[in-house]
Amino acid sequence: GFIVRGDGARIVEFYAPWCGHCVHFKPQFIKIANRVHSHPFGENVMFHAISCTAHAKICNHYNIHGYPSVFGLKDGQTNVGEEQLDRSKIGDVGYLLDQLGVMDGKVKDSEEEQDHYKEKDVKPKNLKQPDQKASIPSYTPHDQSTIYKDAATSFQYTLQNSIYMSNGPLSKDKAVALQKWIRLLYMTLPHDDDTSEFNTTWEQLKILRSKFNTAITSKDEMLKLLGLEKEAGSEWSTCRMDNDQFGYTCGLWNLFHIITVGYAEHDDDNGTHHPKDAPPPIQSEVKASIILRNYIDYFFSCRECREHFLKGYDDCAHDVCHRFEKTGENNSSSSSNSQELALWLWEVHNGVNVRLLHELFDREEKGRRPSLEEEERVLWPSRDMCRDCWLEGEGGDGVVWDKEVVYRFLKMTYWPNNETIGENKSHHLSTQNKRISPKITFMTPIYLLGIAAFLWYLVKKREKDEVGRRKKLDFSIVQDVDKLIL
């Protein structure tokens, strides 16, 4: 209602609770409100934040394609329009007031006055932002079954919230990307009596394959076909963080890892874990990686996450432009070559971990760069989880991995097998008796325990070394680090 009524100048943020960048933007959004409300011409500017999870129809109506999205609305304006506020200038009060039309006909502030408004701490008025308490997310050890459950839950959440970001039919490019994504899932997801967690997913995939042309006409038609007209709450198991708000992205990473391992295992398990009516295999790791890239481009709505992934892919990060060349369409795909897709995604995921660690240090450590030791603590699997994955004493300052062992670790984690991992059982990964440490209990890509321990170490170190020089690190920082792997 506050958009349609057009009463007064307003700044509106569209966000999703599961979007880590939205959570990190919250303090900045509050500071922006402080600065604007401390200005004599900004006292009446209204600030609003809309959850696109709770209010999907509103966000679809305004064609919100990514989070966070921030718009400035002038007095009398009843639509958010297409132009967002420039995020690089959003902390500039003068810029905001200009965009809102508040400064029309008024003398602009000097630089000293702008500095004054930025420094003045005034409680923001009318700020409607989700209440999020800083707390350490709950964690319980888990097995492969719960990994599958979380992946299936994120797939259904995608169908309900991410395929359609606006009204009307899917564009041609989106429809093609979705069709190829469905084919890749159908080809790679495990499907047998031991993977019942994906039963609903398989039923949904069959419907989408057989009635695809109807499904792409509108969100209502697709949800009707899938029996999802009434949106049910999504609950994750091991990806449970802060009342499920980050479960979606964690489960989605699980799904990606399952798919890439499933690609390698498609020909190696003699159809044991694949449906009999699976489509012909995608004969190129390059094509499979492009399908994943395009899915993220069109259907993953965390704006900054998406842009980082696409830039890395398009800039050939992790050698994605060349590492699959040995497995072209005219070559027979050997087991070792087909594993490159899973290893590429694993490298991408670890790259995300390190990047988010650097972003955390930029926010909380005043720009101090994490050390190599600190970076190693967010890499997965850790030395404790898979000591033979790490090659000791090689590679200078960098980390060198035994990728053959890493792949076997990924397969043991994400692909059906007859082994169960427990605290008292060793797991041999090669004829040379390379093994995963018996300490492991299937870990999801968020790696909570290791990261939480790492941050506890930082807290204690800072308390000891910097007492009297800095304010004590609080639990909000621990919370941020638990959200690194998003």
In this structure, what token pair is assigned to residue 456?
């506890």
* Distance from the first to the final alpha carbon of the chain: 33
Instruction: Give the lowest-confidence range in 138-142, 212-216, 266-270.
Output: 138-142
What contacts 9, CB < 8 A, 6 or more positions away?
44, 45, 46, 72, 73, 74, 75, 100, 101, 102
pLDDT at 275: 64
Instruction: Count the residues in the chain.
Output: 486
State the average pLDDT over residues 166-170. Answer: 82
pLDDT at 53: 80
Query: What pLDDT digit, counting tens, does each position of 188-200 carry?
Result: 999 876 678 999 9
pLDDT at 460: 46
Instruction: Give the lowest-confidence range in 131-140, 168-177, 383-392, 426-435.
Output: 131-140
pLDDT at 486: 36
C-alpha to C-alpha distance for 77 and 131, rounded to whole angstroms: 28
Residue 154, Cβ neighbours under 10 Å: how many? 24
Whether residue 455 contacts residue 136, with contact meaning beta carbons closer than 8 Å, is answered with no
State the average pLDDT over residues 176-186. Answer: 95
- Per DSSP, the chain holds a count of helices (H) and strands (E) of 19, 5
pLDDT band at 442 (very low <50, low <70, confident <90, very high): very low
Give the best-scoring range by mean pLDDT among 19-28, 52-61, 144-153, 409-418: 144-153
Radius of gyration of the chain measured on its C-alpha atoms: 24
pLDDT band at 99 (very low <50, low <70, confident <90, very high): confident
In our burial notation (b when 16+ CB lie closer than 10 A, e otherwise), range 328-359 reads eeeeebeeebbbbbbbbbbbbbbbbbbebbbb
pLDDT band at 129 (very low <50, low <70, confident <90, very high): very low
Query: What pLDDT digit, counting tens, does each position of 360-411 carry?
Result: 888 776 668 888 888 888 899 988 889 899 986 544 457 889 999 999 999 9
Residue 36, Cβ neighbours under 10 Å: how many? 25
The owner of tokens 């708000």 is 245
12: β partners: 48, 71
Give the best-scoring range by mean pLDDT among 78-87, 97-106, 172-181, 269-278: 172-181
Q: Residue 205: pLDDT above 90?
A: yes
Whether residue 349 contacts residue 445, with contact meaning beta carbons closer than 8 Å, is answered with yes
State the average pLDDT over residues 429-448. Answer: 38
Give the best-scoring range by mean pLDDT among 225-239, 279-293, 417-431: 279-293
Cα→Cα distances 269→184, 201, 262, 266, Å:
17, 21, 10, 6
C-alpha to C-alpha distance for 477 and 463, rounded to whole angstroms: 14
C-alpha to C-alpha distance for 461 and 465, rounded to whole angstroms: 6
State the average pLDDT over residues 344-369. Answer: 86
pLDDT band at 61 (very low <50, low <70, confident <90, very high): confident
State the average pLDDT over residues 343-360. Answer: 91
State the average pLDDT over residues 224-229. Answer: 89
Instruction: Give the lowest-confidence range in 19-23, 269-273, 466-470.
Output: 466-470
C-alpha to C-alpha distance for 195 and 144, rounded to whole angstroms: 9
Whether residue 209 contacts residue 182, with contact meaning beta carbons closer than 8 Å, is answered with yes
Q: What's the mean per-residue pLDDT of the chain?
A: 74
pLDDT at 223: 92
Q: What is the pTM of this model?
A: 0.72
Q: Residue 349: pLDDT above 90?
A: yes
**H-state helical runs in 38-171:** 56-61, 93-99, 111-119, 144-161
The residue ranking higher by pLDDT, 398 or 433, is 398
pLDDT at 153: 92
Instruction: Give the lowest-confidence range in 29-33, 62-66, 170-174, 350-354.
Output: 62-66
The residue ranking higher by pLDDT, 113 or 292, is 292
DSSP string, 334-374: -HHHHTHHHHHHHHHHHHHHHHHHHHHHHHHSTTPPPPHHH
What contacts 258, CB < 8 A, 6 or more positions away?
147, 148, 151, 188, 189, 190, 414, 415
Shortest CA distance to 147 belongs to which of 328, 482, 383, 417? 417
pLDDT at 317: 94
The residue ranking higher by pLDDT, 258 or 440, is 258
User: What percent of the chain has a predicted confidence (pLDDT) above 70?
Assistant: 66
The residue ranking higher by pLDDT, 203 or 26, is 203
C-alpha to C-alpha distance for 37 and 476, rounded to whole angstroms: 26
User: What percent of the chain has a predicted confidence (pLDDT) above 90?
Assistant: 29
State the average pLDDT over residues 24-49. Answer: 86
pLDDT at 59: 84
Shortest CA distance to 425 belongs to which of 406, 412, 410? 412
pLDDT at 273: 62
The residue ranking higher by pLDDT, 439 or 57, is 57
State the average pLDDT over residues 161-182. Answer: 91
Query: What pLDDT digit, counting tens, does each position of 266-316 carry?
Result: 866 555 666 666 666 677 899 999 999 999 999 998 888 899 999 999 999
Q: Residue 425: pLDDT above 60?
A: no
The residue ranking higher by pLDDT, 432 or 164, is 164
